[in-house]
Amino acid sequence: MKKLKLYLVNLLAVMFLAFAVSCEDEKNKPGDDPDTPSPEELQEIISPQYVSVDWNTADVLMCDTITGKYVMTKTAETSQIAPGSVVVLDMDTTGIVIRVTEVVDNTNEVNVKAERGTIADIFANIDFTLSTSTEAESRSKNVFYPEKIICRDSTGRILSRTSFSKPIWEWGKNFDGTTLFQNSAVHLYFREANMSASVGLNMYFNFGQRTIIETAYEVWDKYRAQMLEVEATLDGEWNANFILQADVSGSYTFDKGEDLVKHNLLPPKSIKFVVYGVPVWINLSADLFRHVKLTCEGEASAYTGVRNNITGKFGFNWQQQSGMSKVSGLGCDTEIIYPTITGKGRVDAKAWLYPRLRMTLYGLVGPSFDIKPYVGTEARGGFKQTMLGSSSDYFAWSLRNYCGVDINAGLSLMFMNYETKRYALGDINVIEKDLYKSPHSIELGSAPDKVKVGEAATISFVVKDYDYIFGKTIATPLPQVVRFESNGGLSSQYGITSNGMTSVTWSPKSKSDKLYATLYNYDGSIISRAEYASVEDKEPEDEITPGQEVDLGLSVNWGGWNVGASSPEQYGGYYAWGETEEKNDYTWMTYKYWVDRNGDGYVDYNDNEITNIGTNISGTQYDVARQKWGGSWRMPTKAEIDELTSMCTWTWYQYKGVWGQKVTGPNGNSIFMPAAGFRSGTSLYDDGSYGYYRSATLDEGSYGGDNAWHLYFSNGSYGSGGSYDRNGGLTVRPVK
């Protein structure tokens, strides 16, 4: 009889919940309504021990979570509370779950003793999403939106009650002048620092079957669902504008780790959802943290800045079987604030300033989120100077500015009745961008076409920095140091740039003299070097015979430019031997005519892994010149390259700003072959210094036939005896 009464009570509760759900449907707007379960389905979803209370007619008179004592006014619903009942105390501005252990029923009050419960004591056999964003993608068709939002100040005082709005957090803060670290040697601070955000929250739950938990009480059982999966994400937009200033005098290293700057950076909020008639309360809060890494020595001052706009979503997914993993889809648009440096020494600084967003469910600790934009600078100055003015002396500044985004998320499982304290992703770097590098290169600026021996001329040079945001070089705004070197007379050994320009007066002693302008790194290595000669750098362009087909007076006519180019100075395409298309990666693994028969990733010559396509592919289907240029154009053979090197005059030469070899035939006609280098893997090597041109002839003496003959040259040398892997990317000059 007792079990029958309990069954009738539970059935009435389920029927009441079904009615409550139908009433709450309109409150879950905007967005599509979740499916409304049938009464039978509700019995599977909501615990039979859950007692639904109409808190519009009932009040919580006492709530002591420490002693576990609670007092409610007596109504028809609260009168149904018995040992084992699960109740959500919905107290207008917050809510908690309790599981009742004792009940004292007075005339006007219901006094209970209870232990704290969790969301897993209520729901089972269901998945649903709690969302503050109507535009966010949901893992579940059952999506619930806020019914009530309580805004508080930093002391917890209620400021306002609002209805559903998006985003749940929209704020902006200014932290200009915030000191990150300071002592007698270092002052690191944000000259400017302001952040803003527009953020929504989405939390997905997947509950498994309900099980019976053994208790010390013989008169009732405890039902609890197994949590299978939880996913929590923030979506929206974050903006962070930082200008980081470092003033150092001395030597110091510092990395303290994260430090609390401000408690309750954002106004705490309590959000009430109603899930199938059950009130679900989530509390949100955020504190401001900072983290600084610094290494410095010398006396220097440097600042750099960046404006970051970060959009997308970030969070975590926790599954019972596999644990925790990240959920991320962030993009970052960046604008650079150009840097300055003064002094000498070294400054390596990196700084984060970020909010930590925390969430509790029914007052129990749940997820936390860190989205940590940062800005950093590496400014280093060095010098070496000997008493006698050695050629190895140098002065230099180098600068690298960068920014990025680290993300982190933590999850306490207390709100799901798990004993495990906390899961954490750890810092994950999702974006890091180089913003600015100085110096990057040096180029010849203004100079006369020719300087006479013994006469003075002013030669200027331009120092360039690299702006990674726009992907281009710009004249440096920093006072970079350039060293001038020559056998001739110099007005100064060093020049300091102003708006990127520096100049020197030079008097060559002989026709072969050259003037060099060099940028050094802080460690003495060369970053870039430009030169100017006393004779004109380039010969008149009409000394190169024009046209696609040039008769040099040899057995074949030679092409005026490379395959894939349209003029003599262009490098054109790079091709593996026997392949007719360019590609991004030149290795044996990507070579069309190699088969890894034993799967070891290496060339095994005894296994016939390299396909035999012939010893001379000139004019065949494997000839890229024939396939690209058509007609009777083809790749040259080794014999024809031998003829070119033995019968022609070769001159290292600059044509339209590109270095290479001018090749003049017996009849006086000439072609220009640029020093295009070669491609291996995904990189280009030796461009501007060496030329490597394929022949159609296989090097039959190579082991396993893995090499083919090619033409090679550099400044002062050339030849046809080069043999190189078939898989490498070399340029091709056709013949006819």
Query: pLDDT tens, 674-728?
Result: 999 999 999 999 999 999 999 999 988 877 678 899 999 999 899 887 788 899 9
Alpha-carbon gap, residue 89 to 95, rounded angstroms: 5
Give the pLDDT confidence score for residue 270 in this predicted structure.
86
CA angle 639, 645, 647 (to 5 degrees): 95
Residue 615: pLDDT band with limits 50, 70, 90? very high
Q: What percent of the chain has pLDDT over 90?
A: 32
Alpha-carbon gap, residue 521 to 523, rounded angstroms: 5
Determine contact, residues 89/74, Cβ cutoff 8 Å: no
Beta strands, E only, 320-393: 323-361, 364-384
Find, among 427, 409, 418, 431, the residue nearest to 231 by Cα.
409
Determine contact, residues 563/628, Cβ cutoff 8 Å: yes
Mean pLDDT for the chain overall: 80
Q: Is the pLDDT of residue 72 over 80?
A: yes
- Rounded average pLDDT over 321-345: 71
Residue 154: pLDDT band with limits 50, 70, 90? low
Q: Is the pLDDT of residue 487 over 90?
A: no
Give the pLDDT confidence score for residue 67 in this predicted structure.
93
- Rounded average pLDDT over 598-610: 74
Architecture of domain 440-533: Sandwich (2.60)
Residue 165: pLDDT band with limits 50, 70, 90? low
- Rounded average pLDDT over 562-576: 96
Give the pLDDT confidence score for residue 134 in this predicted structure.
73
CA angle 705, 710, 714 (to 5 degrees): 140
Beta strands, E only, 11-144: 60-64, 69-73, 86-90, 95-105, 109-116, 126-131, 143-144
Give the pLDDT confidence score for residue 387 in this predicted structure.
34
Q: Is the pLDDT of residue 599 over 60?
A: yes
Q: Is the pLDDT of residue 20 over 80?
A: no
Cβ contacts of residue 111 below 8 Å, gap of 6+? 69, 70, 71, 103, 104, 105
Greater confidence (12 vs 308) lies with 308
Greater confidence (218 vs 702) lies with 702
Greater confidence (661 vs 240) lies with 661
Alpha carbon distances (Å) from 531 to 392, 442, 443, 483, 490: 17, 10, 8, 12, 14
Give the pLDDT confidence score for residue 158 in this predicted structure.
67
Greater confidence (153 vs 503) lies with 503
Beta bridge pairs of residue 735: 558, 634
Residue 33: pLDDT band with limits 50, 70, 90? low
Determine contact, residues 347/300, Cβ cutoff 8 Å: yes
Residue 352: pLDDT band with limits 50, 70, 90? confident
Residue 539: pLDDT band with limits 50, 70, 90? very low
Give the pLDDT confidence score for residue 5 in this predicted structure.
37
Q: What is the DSSP letter of 120?
A: G
Top-ranked range on mean pLDDT: pick from 4-13, 414-423, 677-686: 677-686
User: Nearest 5°: phi and psi at 147?
Assistant: -95, -30
Q: Is the pLDDT of residue 488 over 90?
A: no
- Rounded average pLDDT over 384-401: 52
Top-ranked range on mean pLDDT: pick from 11-25, 255-269, 668-682: 668-682
Greater confidence (726 vs 333) lies with 726
> What count of residues does the chain have?
736
Alpha-carbon gap, residue 257 to 237, rounded angstroms: 26
Q: Is the pLDDT of residue 216 over 70?
A: no
pLDDT-wise least confident of 10-14, 28-32, 274-278: 10-14
Greater confidence (312 vs 489) lies with 489
Find, among 638, 642, 592, 599, the residue nearest to 617 by Cα.
638
Cβ contacts of residue 525 below 8 Å, gap of 6+? none
Give the pLDDT confidence score for residue 665 in this predicted structure.
95
Give the pLDDT confidence score for residue 26 in this predicted structure.
34
Greater confidence (545 vs 7) lies with 545
Find, among 300, 75, 261, the residue nearest to 179 by Cα.
261
Give the pLDDT confidence score for residue 338 in this predicted structure.
64
Alpha carbon distances (Å) from 525 to 29, 80, 479, 480, 700: 65, 83, 19, 15, 42
Top-ranked range on mean pLDDT: pick from 138-142, 311-315, 391-395: 138-142
Residue 6: pLDDT band with limits 50, 70, 90? very low
pLDDT-wise least confident of 174-178, 334-338, 633-637: 334-338
Q: Delimit the domains of the chain by residue range.
A: 2-121, 148-426, 440-533, 542-725
Give the pLDDT confidence score for residue 174 in this predicted structure.
84
Give the pLDDT confidence score for residue 697 in this predicted structure.
94
Q: Is the pLDDT of residue 424 over 50?
A: yes
Greater confidence (44 vs 574) lies with 574
Cβ contacts of residue 735 below 8 Å, gap of 6+? 556, 557, 558, 559, 625, 633, 634, 635, 636, 640
Q: Is the pLDDT of residue 437 over 90?
A: no
- Rounded average pLDDT over 497-514: 86
Greater confidence (361 vs 645) lies with 645
Top-ranked range on mean pLDDT: pick from 68-72, 188-192, 264-268, 518-522: 68-72
